[in-house]
A = this chain, B = another copy of it.
Amino acid sequence: MTAPGLERLSLNTATTKRWTLPEAVAGCVEAGIGGIGLWRDRVAETGVRRAARLVRDAGLTVTTLCRGGFLTATGPRERAAALADNRRAIEEAAELGTGTLVLVVGGLPEGSRDLPGARTAVQDAIAELAPYAAELGVRLAVEPLHPMFCADRAVVSTLGQALDLAEGFPVEQVGVVVDSYHVWWDPQLAEQIARAGERIAAYQVCDWVTPLPADTLLGRGHVGDGHIDVRALTEAVDTAGYTGWIEVEIFNQAIWDTPGARTLRTVVERHLAHVAPR
Protein backbone atom coordinates (compact mmCIF):
# COMPACT_ATOMS: atom_id res chain seq x y z
CA MET A 1 0.00 0.00 0.00
CA THR A 2 2.87 2.36 0.78
CA ALA A 3 4.32 3.98 -2.34
CA PRO A 4 8.04 3.46 -3.15
CA GLY A 5 10.28 5.89 -1.26
CA LEU A 6 7.52 6.65 1.23
CA GLU A 7 8.14 3.66 3.51
CA ARG A 8 8.91 5.88 6.53
CA LEU A 9 6.65 8.83 5.78
CA SER A 10 3.92 9.67 8.27
CA LEU A 11 1.41 12.49 8.19
CA ASN A 12 0.95 14.33 11.44
CA THR A 13 -2.65 15.44 11.18
CA ALA A 14 -1.83 18.95 12.44
CA THR A 15 -0.58 19.51 8.89
CA THR A 16 -4.08 19.06 7.46
CA LYS A 17 -5.87 20.80 10.27
CA ARG A 18 -9.21 21.14 8.50
CA TRP A 19 -9.59 17.44 7.79
CA THR A 20 -11.61 15.31 10.16
CA LEU A 21 -9.95 12.09 11.22
CA PRO A 22 -11.83 9.99 8.61
CA GLU A 23 -10.78 12.48 5.92
CA ALA A 24 -7.14 12.36 7.03
CA VAL A 25 -7.15 8.57 7.06
CA ALA A 26 -8.65 8.44 3.56
CA GLY A 27 -6.17 11.08 2.38
CA CYS A 28 -3.19 9.05 3.61
CA VAL A 29 -4.44 5.89 1.92
CA GLU A 30 -4.99 7.78 -1.32
CA ALA A 31 -1.50 9.34 -1.18
CA GLY A 32 0.29 6.11 -0.34
CA ILE A 33 1.32 7.29 3.12
CA GLY A 34 1.40 4.47 5.63
CA GLY A 35 1.81 6.31 8.93
CA ILE A 36 -0.35 8.83 10.73
CA GLY A 37 0.36 10.96 13.80
CA LEU A 38 -2.83 11.80 15.64
CA TRP A 39 -3.96 14.71 17.79
CA ARG A 40 -6.17 14.11 20.76
CA ASP A 41 -8.82 16.69 19.82
CA ARG A 42 -9.46 15.10 16.43
CA VAL A 43 -9.47 11.66 18.02
CA ALA A 44 -11.99 12.86 20.62
CA GLU A 45 -14.34 14.10 17.91
CA THR A 46 -14.44 10.62 16.41
CA GLY A 47 -14.24 8.72 19.67
CA VAL A 48 -11.09 6.80 20.65
CA ARG A 49 -12.42 3.33 19.93
CA ARG A 50 -13.86 4.29 16.57
CA ALA A 51 -10.69 6.20 15.65
CA ALA A 52 -8.57 3.17 16.50
CA ARG A 53 -10.71 0.91 14.32
CA LEU A 54 -10.78 3.41 11.47
CA VAL A 55 -7.01 3.68 11.33
CA ARG A 56 -6.45 -0.04 11.74
CA ASP A 57 -8.99 -0.95 9.08
CA ALA A 58 -7.25 1.44 6.67
CA GLY A 59 -3.96 -0.38 7.28
CA LEU A 60 -2.27 2.71 8.73
CA THR A 61 0.19 2.76 11.62
CA VAL A 62 -0.40 5.33 14.34
CA THR A 63 3.09 6.76 14.73
CA THR A 64 2.47 9.13 17.64
CA LEU A 65 -0.29 10.60 19.73
CA CYS A 66 0.04 14.35 20.27
CA ARG A 67 0.05 15.30 22.99
CA GLY A 68 0.37 15.08 26.71
CA GLY A 69 2.38 17.37 28.90
CA PHE A 70 1.77 20.83 30.41
CA LEU A 71 3.23 19.55 33.63
CA THR A 72 4.63 22.71 35.23
CA ALA A 73 1.70 23.65 37.46
CA THR A 74 2.67 23.75 41.11
CA GLY A 75 -0.72 24.19 42.80
CA PRO A 76 -1.92 20.77 44.07
CA ARG A 77 -5.24 20.92 42.23
CA GLU A 78 -3.80 22.04 38.89
CA ARG A 79 -1.05 19.47 39.23
CA ALA A 80 -3.48 16.65 39.95
CA ALA A 81 -5.63 17.70 36.99
CA ALA A 82 -2.59 17.72 34.67
CA LEU A 83 -1.51 14.26 35.83
CA ALA A 84 -5.04 12.90 35.38
CA ASP A 85 -5.23 14.32 31.88
CA ASN A 86 -1.89 12.78 31.02
CA ARG A 87 -3.04 9.38 32.30
CA ARG A 88 -6.01 9.65 29.96
CA ALA A 89 -3.66 10.54 27.11
CA ILE A 90 -1.57 7.44 27.89
CA GLU A 91 -4.71 5.28 27.84
CA GLU A 92 -5.77 6.79 24.53
CA ALA A 93 -2.33 6.13 23.03
CA ALA A 94 -2.55 2.51 24.12
CA GLU A 95 -6.03 2.10 22.68
CA LEU A 96 -4.95 3.72 19.39
CA GLY A 97 -2.10 1.23 19.17
CA THR A 98 0.80 3.67 19.28
CA GLY A 99 3.72 3.27 21.62
CA THR A 100 4.59 6.97 21.57
CA LEU A 101 2.92 9.80 23.46
CA VAL A 102 4.49 13.16 22.64
CA LEU A 103 4.91 15.46 25.65
CA VAL A 104 5.03 19.24 25.36
CA VAL A 105 6.09 19.88 28.92
CA GLY A 106 4.55 23.31 29.55
CA GLY A 107 5.86 26.83 30.12
CA LEU A 108 6.30 28.92 33.23
CA PRO A 109 3.29 28.84 35.54
CA GLU A 110 1.22 32.05 35.48
CA GLY A 111 3.16 34.90 37.08
CA SER A 112 6.24 32.77 37.80
CA ARG A 113 9.84 33.53 36.84
CA ASP A 114 11.15 30.33 38.41
CA LEU A 115 12.48 28.45 35.43
CA PRO A 116 14.54 25.93 37.44
CA GLY A 117 11.44 25.25 39.57
CA ALA A 118 9.30 24.63 36.50
CA ARG A 119 11.88 22.21 35.15
CA THR A 120 11.91 20.28 38.42
CA ALA A 121 8.11 20.09 38.32
CA VAL A 122 8.30 18.48 34.87
CA GLN A 123 10.78 15.90 36.06
CA ASP A 124 8.64 15.04 39.09
CA ALA A 125 5.51 14.69 36.98
CA ILE A 126 7.23 12.43 34.46
CA ALA A 127 8.44 10.27 37.33
CA GLU A 128 4.81 9.75 38.31
CA LEU A 129 3.58 9.08 34.79
CA ALA A 130 6.31 6.97 33.21
CA PRO A 131 5.69 3.68 35.08
CA TYR A 132 1.97 3.85 34.32
CA ALA A 133 2.70 4.54 30.65
CA ALA A 134 5.13 1.63 30.52
CA GLU A 135 2.49 -0.71 31.99
CA LEU A 136 0.30 0.18 29.02
CA GLY A 137 3.13 -0.19 26.52
CA VAL A 138 3.45 3.54 25.90
CA ARG A 139 6.68 5.50 25.92
CA LEU A 140 6.64 9.16 26.92
CA ALA A 141 8.45 11.21 24.28
CA VAL A 142 9.72 14.51 25.65
CA GLU A 143 9.75 17.14 22.91
CA PRO A 144 12.19 20.01 23.28
CA LEU A 145 10.49 23.07 21.83
CA HIS A 146 12.27 25.99 20.23
CA PRO A 147 13.51 28.40 22.93
CA MET A 148 11.05 31.03 21.73
CA PHE A 149 8.35 28.92 23.39
CA CYS A 150 10.14 28.63 26.73
CA ALA A 151 7.88 31.07 28.60
CA ASP A 152 4.54 29.79 27.43
CA ARG A 153 4.82 26.22 26.11
CA ALA A 154 7.90 24.24 27.04
CA VAL A 155 10.63 24.85 29.58
CA VAL A 156 12.54 22.03 27.86
CA SER A 157 14.31 23.86 25.03
CA THR A 158 17.15 21.71 23.76
CA LEU A 159 17.70 18.10 22.84
CA GLY A 160 20.51 17.88 25.38
CA GLN A 161 18.17 19.05 28.11
CA ALA A 162 15.48 16.58 27.01
CA LEU A 163 18.06 13.79 27.15
CA ASP A 164 19.25 14.84 30.60
CA LEU A 165 15.63 14.48 31.67
CA ALA A 166 14.93 11.23 29.78
CA GLU A 167 18.08 9.51 30.98
CA GLY A 168 16.72 9.58 34.52
CA PHE A 169 14.31 6.85 33.40
CA PRO A 170 14.59 3.46 31.65
CA VAL A 171 14.96 3.83 27.90
CA GLU A 172 11.69 2.00 27.23
CA GLN A 173 9.79 4.43 29.46
CA VAL A 174 11.00 7.87 28.37
CA GLY A 175 12.36 8.98 25.01
CA VAL A 176 12.69 12.24 23.13
CA VAL A 177 11.25 13.80 20.00
CA VAL A 178 13.56 15.34 17.43
CA ASP A 179 11.62 18.00 15.50
CA SER A 180 13.63 19.83 12.86
CA TYR A 181 11.85 23.12 13.53
CA HIS A 182 12.71 23.13 17.21
CA VAL A 183 16.30 21.90 17.14
CA TRP A 184 17.90 22.93 13.85
CA TRP A 185 19.72 26.00 15.25
CA ASP A 186 21.40 24.16 18.14
CA PRO A 187 25.21 24.30 18.01
CA GLN A 188 25.30 21.03 19.99
CA LEU A 189 22.83 19.27 17.72
CA ALA A 190 25.17 16.76 16.09
CA GLU A 191 26.60 15.51 19.37
CA GLN A 192 23.21 15.39 21.07
CA ILE A 193 21.60 13.40 18.25
CA ALA A 194 24.48 10.93 18.42
CA ARG A 195 23.99 10.74 22.17
CA ALA A 196 20.24 10.29 21.81
CA GLY A 197 20.51 6.93 20.02
CA GLU A 198 17.61 4.72 20.96
CA ARG A 199 16.06 7.47 23.06
CA ILE A 200 14.74 8.92 19.80
CA ALA A 201 11.07 8.00 19.97
CA ALA A 202 9.86 10.20 17.13
CA TYR A 203 11.33 12.31 14.35
CA GLN A 204 9.27 15.17 12.92
CA VAL A 205 10.15 17.47 10.06
CA CYS A 206 9.14 20.79 8.59
CA ASP A 207 11.13 23.87 7.64
CA TRP A 208 12.01 27.22 9.24
CA VAL A 209 10.85 30.02 6.99
CA THR A 210 11.58 33.71 7.37
CA PRO A 211 10.28 36.19 8.12
CA LEU A 212 8.40 34.68 11.04
CA PRO A 213 4.66 35.37 10.75
CA ALA A 214 2.67 37.40 13.28
CA ASP A 215 1.74 34.23 15.13
CA THR A 216 5.09 32.53 15.68
CA LEU A 217 3.34 29.22 16.26
CA LEU A 218 2.43 29.17 12.59
CA GLY A 219 5.83 29.90 11.08
CA ARG A 220 6.54 26.45 9.71
CA GLY A 221 6.93 25.61 6.06
CA HIS A 222 7.06 22.57 3.84
CA VAL A 223 10.43 20.88 3.87
CA GLY A 224 12.56 22.64 1.27
CA ASP A 225 10.93 26.04 1.66
CA GLY A 226 13.23 27.33 4.37
CA HIS A 227 16.64 27.36 6.02
CA ILE A 228 16.96 23.87 7.50
CA ASP A 229 19.24 21.24 6.00
CA VAL A 230 16.68 18.48 6.56
CA ARG A 231 18.68 15.90 4.63
CA ALA A 232 21.72 16.35 6.87
CA LEU A 233 19.50 16.20 9.95
CA THR A 234 17.80 13.02 8.75
CA GLU A 235 21.15 11.39 8.07
CA ALA A 236 22.30 12.29 11.59
CA VAL A 237 19.14 10.83 13.10
CA ASP A 238 19.51 7.66 11.02
CA THR A 239 23.18 7.33 11.92
CA ALA A 240 22.19 7.54 15.58
CA GLY A 241 20.22 4.36 14.97
CA TYR A 242 16.70 5.65 14.43
CA THR A 243 14.87 3.59 11.84
CA GLY A 244 11.31 4.71 12.61
CA TRP A 245 8.75 6.95 11.01
CA ILE A 246 9.39 10.43 9.73
CA GLU A 247 6.38 12.57 10.56
CA VAL A 248 5.58 15.74 8.70
CA GLU A 249 4.08 18.24 11.10
CA ILE A 250 3.45 21.75 9.78
CA PHE A 251 1.54 24.53 11.49
CA ASN A 252 0.91 27.13 8.81
CA GLN A 253 -2.26 29.05 8.01
CA ALA A 254 -1.66 29.08 4.24
CA ILE A 255 -1.13 25.31 4.23
CA TRP A 256 -4.23 24.83 6.36
CA ASP A 257 -6.14 26.87 3.79
CA THR A 258 -4.93 24.56 1.00
CA PRO A 259 -7.04 21.49 0.09
CA GLY A 260 -5.70 18.53 2.04
CA ALA A 261 -5.06 16.33 -0.99
CA ARG A 262 -2.88 19.03 -2.53
CA THR A 263 -0.96 19.43 0.71
CA LEU A 264 -0.32 15.69 0.77
CA ARG A 265 1.00 15.79 -2.78
CA THR A 266 3.47 18.48 -1.70
CA VAL A 267 4.40 16.50 1.42
CA VAL A 268 5.14 13.45 -0.70
CA GLU A 269 7.17 15.41 -3.28
CA ARG A 270 9.25 17.09 -0.61
CA HIS A 271 9.81 13.84 1.23
CA LEU A 272 11.15 12.24 -1.93
CA ALA A 273 13.28 15.28 -2.78
CA HIS A 274 14.71 16.20 0.63
CA VAL A 275 14.27 13.32 3.06
CA ALA A 276 14.10 9.87 1.46
CA PRO A 277 17.48 8.25 0.70
CA ARG A 278 18.74 9.26 -2.73
Residues on A lying within 8 angstroms of B by beta carbon are 108, 113-115, 119, 146-148, 150-152, 156-158, 160-161, 164, 184-188, 208, 210-214, 216, 226-229, 232
A21 shortest CB reach to chain B, Å: 30
- CB < 8 Å neighbour of A229 from B113, B147, B229: B113
Contacts of A184 in B (CB 8 A): 115, 150
Q: A124 to chain B: closest CB distance in Å?
A: 17
Copies of this protein, total = 2
Known: A114-B229, A151-B227, A160-B187. 16 other contacts (CB 8 A): A113-B227, A115-B185, A146-B148, A147-B147, A148-B148, A148-B212, A148-B216, A150-B184, A150-B185, A151-B210, A151-B226, A152-B210, A152-B211, A156-B187, A164-B187, A216-B216
CA gap between A150 and B185 in the complex, in Å: 6
Most buried by B among A108, A146, A148: A148
> Which of chain B's residues have a CB closer than 8 A to the CB of A161?
187
Q: Complex Cα distance A145/B114, Å?
A: 22
